[in-house]
Amino acid sequence: MPGRLGGSRRTAIILIGALIAMGPVQAQPAKTAPKQPNIVILLADDWGFSDVGSFGSEIATPNIDALAQSGMRFSNFHVAGSCSPTRAMLQTGVMNHRNGLGNMPETIPDQHRGKPGYDTVMNLRVVTIAQLLKAAGYRTYLTGKWHLGSDAKRLPHARGYDRAYSLADAGADNFEQRPIEGMYDTAAWTENGRPATLPKDYYSSHFVVRRMIDYIEEGRQSGKPFLASINFLANHIPIQAPDSDIARYSAMYKDGWTALREARAKRAAMLGIMPAGIPIVTMATTPDWKKLDAEERAAAIRVMQAYGGMATAMDREVGRLVAHLKAKGDYENTIFVFLSDNGSEPTNPFHSLRNRLFLGMQYDLATANIGRRGSFAAIGPGWASAAASPLSGYKFTAAEGGLRVPLIIAWPGNGNIRAGGISNGLAHVTDILPTLTDLVGVQGHGGSWQGKAVEPVTGRSLVPMLKGGAGSVHGDTPLGYELSGNAALFRGDYKLVRNLAPTGDGKWRLYNLKTDPGETRDLAGAQPDRFAAMIADYRAYAKANGVLDMPAGYTADEQINAYAFEHQGKPRLIRVGLWVGGIAVLLSVLAWDWRRRRRARRIDQAKPDMIGA
């Protein structure tokens, strides 16, 4: 017995010695699920198709281009021809007539107000991406332009965003808390649903990024992933930028818009964004650069220099955000989406004497001051045609220059997205929401949300295209669109399109976008069967979406002017009345003085010659 016990002790000692020699036992860490990725949406305002360097621009956008190199560029991506409908589709994945933005408050005719789908605000029958992600455990933030409703139920704080510093209007001044004079009485900035005051050092692009970084850091301790929706005012009217950014372009744009349009088309082809040698048109609204006088050219050159500076200032802020996320270790696990809300802005605010008189009283319109604090400027149809190059048309229209904009989707730490790739398959703004929920693994709502029926998502996930799949996730399925009477239907490589006056004649045309993205060859006569089938497809879309015909004589430009001068309330009307009255009084005084002087001259001429008397 004693011998057996001694043997057990020796065995135990041997085993313990062996374990000591092996070193301490390491506890195996419990496997944790990978953290869901963050999402950053970078929404530019009124950037044309080729306004980004990686899409053919001469404008310096190195930080956006870096995102393009780490992700996928979409060269056949479509939005609405104006901002609010695009923004509502981006937020919800639902077509604009279904989400309430059949038209905007600034452009809707009185006959359509209150009709189904024409709420002019994002309705309460849709679910936003912020609501979906918040329910899935995300922090949700928004800064910048909202323009989807200004009442308590429709501001971003009520639509799923934990924190939001937003502008309810279409645009505002970029250097101070000032509205677009003649359009709005105030610059309607709010934070979390309450009126907000901008800081003294405010510049729009800098501020919306700085505020977003604040939000991200204030919520970091929660450990939750975040959705950051940054909605820039650049490059919406008024065109304004820091002096140093304008100066960067001081030697450029002296050859005019037609030369720039041609140069951009060549660069886009060289980059693989567009086919080489495609025909492009000179739009009827493009002025002849050679016929401008010296003063007109100087002002035109200066405004495009300011436009380039405004874009570069925005790009710099994108870079600042990216650098911050890299420093915090967030960059590789963040999905970036960059896009514009519509094509380039062709509006000339000085087209009428009334506008020139009004704006001249509100702003310093000297050529040397264009783009600076206190200025008001727009690039107009000439430069807008270059910004949309090589496409035809621009903002407000259903031409490709109005609907086709740059899209970049990048997830730097995810090898499934083909870095530096270009997809030429048809994609649509309603596809963004289902793409993001697919990438982060969040379940969509399927037409029912929190116990009530909601509008179902109509977009499709672009993940197969992000992985390098050829073609489009839409295949041959018809995809319709309408805004202010300008309409289109996409099906495969083909597009049916109609534009009303002043940019069109109201006739339907058919184009093959694969071979003719500039929309130069109408195929309606050559392919009558396809044309008839797509007309039928559009009518089915219009019926299903409650699209209304436009009143006779309607144009969006005239409606905007009517909104500006007739729908801004008594304070604005009183001020306009006083200014107009003051001008009338001044003209009356000048006329009276002219008549007095003329009468005095007649009396002098009627006096007898005293020398000969």
The answer on pLDDT for 28 being more than 50 is no
Residue 593: which pLDDT band, with cuts at 50, 70 and 90? low
Does the residue 280 lie in any domain? yes
Does residue 429 sit within a domain?
A: yes
Q: Which domain holds residue 119?
A: 41-474
Report if residue 347 sits inside a domain.
yes
The model's confidence at residue 41, banded by pLDDT at 50, 70 and 90, is very high
What is the band of 151 on the pLDDT scale with cuts at 50, 70, 90? very high
Confirm whether 577 is domain-assigned. Answer: no
Number of structural domains found in the chain: 1
- Give dist(CA 306, CA 369) in Å, integer: 10
- Residue 23's CB is within 10 A of a number of other CB atoms, namely 7
pLDDT of residue 354: 86
Token representation of residue 520: 């130069």
286 contacts: CB under 8 Å, gap ≥ 6:
257, 258, 381, 382, 385
Mean pLDDT across the chain, nearest whole number? 90
Does residue 561 carry a pLDDT above 90? no
Token look-up 């604090």 returns 373
For 4-19, the pLDDT digits (tens) are 334 444 444 444 344 3
The answer to whether the beta carbons of residues 517 and 390 sit under 8 Å apart is yes
């739009």: which residue's tokens? 283
The whole-angstrom separation of Cα 279 and Cα 512 is: 13
User: What whole-number distance in Å separates Cα of residue 500 and Cα of residue 555?
Assistant: 8
Euclidean distance between CA atoms 612 and 609, whole angstroms: 6
d(CA 119, CA 104): 8
Average pLDDT of the segment spanning 575-604: 51
* pLDDT value of position 600: 47
Mean pLDDT computed over 87-91: 98
Question: In this predicted structure, what is the pLDDT of residue 260?
Answer: 98
Q: Tell whether 575 is covered by a domain.
A: no
pLDDT of residue 150: 96
pLDDT band at 204 (very low <50, low <70, confident <90, very high): very high
404-416 average pLDDT score? 96
pLDDT over 90 at 568, yes or no: no
- Could you tell me the CATH number of the domain that includes residue 310? 3.40.720.10
What percent of the chain lies above the pLDDT cut of 90? 82
Q: 139-145 and 427-428: which strand pairing?
A: unpaired
H or E element: which one contains 320? Answer: helix 294-327
Residue 592 vs residue 287, higher pLDDT? 287
Residue 344 pLDDT greater than 70, yes or no: yes
Q: What is the pLDDT of residue 592?
A: 52
The token pair at 384 is: 């807008």
- pLDDT for res 556: 83
List 78, 147, 157, 474, catalytic entry: 147
Determine, yes or no, domain membership for 9. no
Look up 236 and say whether it is catalytic.
Answer: no
Angle among Cα 404, 409, 413 to the nearest 5 degrees reads 170
What strands lie across the sheet with 194-195, from one edge to the other? 194-195, 189-191, 163-167, 139-145, 226-231, 38-44, 334-340, 407-410, 71-74, 421-423
Residue 196 has pLDDT above 80, yes or no: yes
Is the pLDDT assigned to residue 131 strictly greater than 70?
yes
Place of tokens 């005095």: 600
Banded model confidence at residue 63, pLDDT cuts 50, 70, 90 = very high
What is the structure's pLDDT at 599? Answer: 52
Q: Is the pLDDT of residue 44 over 50?
A: yes
Residue 337 in any domain: the answer is yes
Quickly state the pLDDT bin for 152 (edges 50, 70, 90).
Answer: very high
How far the first Cα of the chain sits from its last, in Å, is: 169
Does residue 468 have a pLDDT over 50?
yes
Q: Is residue 240 part of a domain?
A: yes
Q: What is the pLDDT of residues 217-238, one digit of tens each?
A: 999 999 999 999 999 999 999 9
Concerning whether 147 is annotated as a catalytic residue, the answer is yes
User: Active site residue: 83, 236, 445, 474, which one?
Assistant: 83
